[in-house]
A and B are shown apart, each in its own frame.
Chain A
Amino acid sequence: MVDDPTLRSFINIHLLNLLDGSPHEVPLQKVIALDLGHYRSPRVIDMQISDSRIALAIGASSFTAVRQDIELIAWEWKTGRVVSGSSPWQN
């Protein structure tokens, strides 16, 4: 798979206050810009929040391949640290 730097996909995840929709006071990153690299039209299949982590399952197809991938990304929402990298597998 060719990793073309001109072809990038991003999604923004906003961490908001549940009561009024204002930016959440705890996370260091109020908006997480997730670089999905070579994926085309990424869609969030599922998103879950635990006490320390946010996990996303992202389904997308590649710019340079026909195959469909599902990528799992998780990070600690209080620190912004990614705790597990992408784990793509062919769908």
Chain B
Amino acid sequence: MATSEKMLYIGTSVDLDRKSSGDEMGGLEARWARLNGFAGSKRSGTFQGALIVNRGTCASRAEPRLEYRSDQDRSGSLVEQFLVASAKRGYILQRLSPAPPRVKFSMCPISISELPSEVLEYILLSLSAAEILKMKEVPRKIAYNSVHRLTLYPSQVNHLFLDLVINSQYLQHRIDLFSAGLVDNPNTVYSLGERRARLRKYSDGWKGAESSVRYECPLESRVIAFESLRVSDQNLFSLHSDDSATVSFIRIPSSPKQETVTERRLELPFRFKSQAVRSQDNLLAVVEQGIG
């Protein structure tokens, strides 16, 4: 019987004697594939069971005889559907051999602390930065001690996750990005170390911000209040003093090599309180003082 066995894998081409049952088998095969979600022949490898066609039996009887072997019980339900479908069409199926011992996929008995840190890190990377930061927080519990005094004491913190977050460059980078209000460029070509260095340089630049170019401009007019300084576009600063009717415009060059600082004064026929400038429209708006 073994010599006449012909393996028929669901979804693959069927090596049958088309003269006797080729069309019928092709229809059954397609139906079985539809029932079990194997629409394409390339997915046939995922099915653990195999249908076996005994050609000798087919030849000795008037109708084709199909037999199946199931490699796993898990696929038994799939084969059952095939049995039902084929029985309706008059086919006889037999089990060739008992199913092999069942492979059990039970819950893994190890604890989470026994997992490799790389696995835990990979899992934690699916969290947002805010959620990762919560692992570093030490929540405080409020309780009354023995003498009924309110005390605050730190509750337990998960040191496993805490150490993982502290020591993981990937998790720290995610937190640092969150702190800086940035996101990683998904198309970056830089390594994690380079990205971390660039982010550190960016953040440090804001911490100790210093002007790269410094101008000292001796003013003719007396500036008495900082709030009278207005920064307009095109590097134009406008100043005015509260006790006069003079507004000064100082234009800062965009590059130190291009031009020098220029100041221009404008005397107004009235005293004013506040002013605003829009140089594109050549507009100066001032609020006249003393009305009201």
Contacts and interface: CB of A to CB of B under 8 A. Distances in A.
B282 A10 contact: no
Interface in A22-69: 24, 26, 36, 41-44, 46-51, 54, 56
Contacts of A24: 282-284
Contact of A49 (B249, B266, B285): B285
Contacts of B278: 49-51
Nearest to B282: A18
Size category, B interface: 20 to 34
A11 B281 contact: no
B267 to A, nearest CB: 7
Contacts of B272: 14
B268 interface: yes
B285 A13 contact: yes
B292 A11 contact: yes
Contacts of B288: 11-14
A20 B249 CA distance: 12
Given A42-B292, A44-B287, A51 B281 contact: yes
A15 B282 CA distance: 10
A83 B129 CA distance: 43
B36 interface: no
Contact of B291 (A12, A18, A43): A12
Contacts of B77: none
Contact of A9 (B268, B274, B275, B292): B292
A18 B292 contact: no
Interface string A76-88: 0100000000000
Contacts of B280: 51
A36 B283 CA distance: 24
Nearest to A47: B276
A78 to B, nearest CB: 9
A5 interface: no
A16 B284 contact: yes
Contacts of B173: none
A42 B288 CA distance: 12
A18 B279 contact: yes
Given A26-B283, A44-B287, A54-B276, 13 more contacts: A11-B287, A11-B291, A14-B286, A16-B283, A18-B249, A18-B284, A21-B268, A44-B273, A44-B274, A47-B274, A51-B278, A56-B287, A77-B283
20 contacts: A10-B291, A12-B287, A12-B288, A14-B285, A15-B284, A16-B268, A20-B266, A21-B266, A21-B284, A42-B292, A44-B273, A44-B287, A47-B275, A47-B285, A49-B281, A49-B285, A50-B278, A51-B280, A56-B287, A77-B283
